[in-house]
Structure 1
């Protein structure tokens, strides 16, 4: 849908804050001042909105996620409506610290929400007292109010759209820390340096916010129509390493293995013998003596498979000492156990 300057004027996108509240970094985006109120340059608004729509179109075409954040009363209803239409996550209530940087904990709270719903909506609720039911209901309501918009967000988003980055400074800081691109509708009292794609405009008017978000949602829908088939979502591990139990299992040859047992193919036992994983052939190498000054004697034991089924396996021992003189009789090989 093409964007007309008259449409922006009718929505009041050009109205800024009072001149006494301005941020000097917004000077390139200000057209002038009238009645002690700054007027935003709509050319810069159109330029920023076009760049944002192209960026969102590209992200949506690659099956990327774009999270919308707007806790203002003027923006909440529009964000819920448009994000539902374009199927993107959103947050319209209080931003919980660590929503992005501690996303693993947020996912655990969403799993708790599903657990509470299964309890309260099922027959299991009949076994609880009225007091416990009331406690669980309050917990479910609190989680649902704060996190219902990102309930189906199984991974971190590729981009973040913010209405008034001055108000949502915590969300912007978390996104910048994780390298997530930030697009923002910002007024004359905001800092444009903290966002990647600024859209200068009135962030206090419902009509202004609705106009901008509607164009962004249209770009997302067009991009998703060009996207390939999306693979099943995979939950993030929040960049955390293996737990203590995992490391212990690696040292012992794999989780669940006995002490000194291989656990996995190629594990090392206490005697230092590596399991080759072949049923008919094994190679063992004796470890050198640990006593200081002792002479290291190595013997290579090679087991060959029997040629006839039921015949004991022959073992040839090749000592490291000198070979016996010619004409001497070799000792018979020991029977395999």
Structure 2
């Protein structure tokens, strides 16, 4: 436990925003104020990481699918890497309005992308269209229906995603810095959402949990097939 807490502190998970930027609903997760900066209670952070990780393991063991969302600079590459690592979907460039609430229409764009990938791009118009589609839909190419869980990094920047999930009743997991609103998240982890090292630490925990769940799901399917023979 002490080793883990030391790693979390080294990764900067405990650093919040300055006191003039905080959201009052985050008060229960703030340990203290130091030099005008709110310090997040690292013990609670670890508790919520474990809680969310267990939730992810259980859900993915049932075959549920996860979408990672994070478009701010610090998170974008980590979102892509993590999602690919654990066979999940991702949005890391820009959240397009209606991506979930108007999913049937957005599917047409994914279909167009797949068509362009299967043929030579013969002119500049096709190349331009392909570049735009791959930029926004690369992480969604294999998503055949709306996800069961959406993991959000950067709540304030991804409010459109948050609101669409709430409208559809899709469960969200949000990394909450001290300027975020916990009432807009189903599950959350109070932690620094600006530091690359902090984001990476938490996403690594989530990915490990998802991979465990997926392994259990695969084993379950194999056992069911064996029994049916």
Task: Work out whether the TM-score is over 0.5.
Answer: yes
Instruction: Give the whole-Å Cα distance in 2 for the aligned partners of 1:5 and 1:72.
Output: 26
* CA root-mean-square deviation: 1.6
Alignment partner of 1:178 out of 168, 171, 196: 168
Instruction: Give the whole-Å Cα distance in 2 for the aligned partners of 1:134 and 1:171.
Output: 32
Q: Alpha-carbon deviations, 1:29-87, whole Å to 9, x = none? A: 00010000000001211111111101110111011101000001111111111111111
- 2:54 is aligned to 54
- 1:153 is aligned to 143
Q: Alpha-carbon deviations, 1:93-115, whole Å to 9, x = none? A: 01000111011111110101122
- 1:189 is aligned to 179
- Higher RCO structure (Cα 8 Å, ≥6 apart): 2
Instruction: Give the whole-Å Cα distance in 2 for the aligned partners of 1:150 and 1:114.
Output: 11
Offset of residue 214 of structure 1? 0.4
- 1:142 is aligned to 132
Instruction: Give the whole-Å Cα distance in 1 for the aligned partners of 2:97 and 2:48.
Output: 28
- 1:233 is aligned to none
Instruction: Give the whole-Å Cα distance in 2 for the aligned partners of 1:64 and 1:188.
Output: 30
- 2:65 is aligned to 65
Q: TM-score, normalised by structure 1?
A: 0.63
Instruction: Give the whole-Å Cα distance in 2 for the aligned partners of 1:167 and 1:47.
Output: 25
Is the aligned partner of 1:225 residue 2:215? yes
Is the aligned partner of 1:203 residue 2:193? yes
Instruction: Give the whole-Å Cα distance in 1 for the aligned partners of 2:79 and 2:151.
Output: 10
CA separation of 1:3/1:170 partners in 2, compared to 1, >3 Å: closer, same or farther? farther
CA separation of 1:195/1:206 partners in 2, compared to 1, >3 Å: closer, same or farther? same
Gaps spanning 5+ residues in structure 2: where?
Answer: 223-229
The higher radius of gyration belongs to 1
Offset of residue 3 of structure 1? 7.7
Q: Alpha-carbon deviations, 1:299-337, whole Å to 9, x = none? A: xxxxxxxxxxxxxxxxxxxxxxxxxxxxxxxxxxxxxxx
- Equivalent residue pairs, number: 220
Is the aligned partner of 1:24 residue 2:24? yes
Instruction: Give the whole-Å Cα distance in 1 for the aligned partners of 2:118 and 2:89.
Output: 23
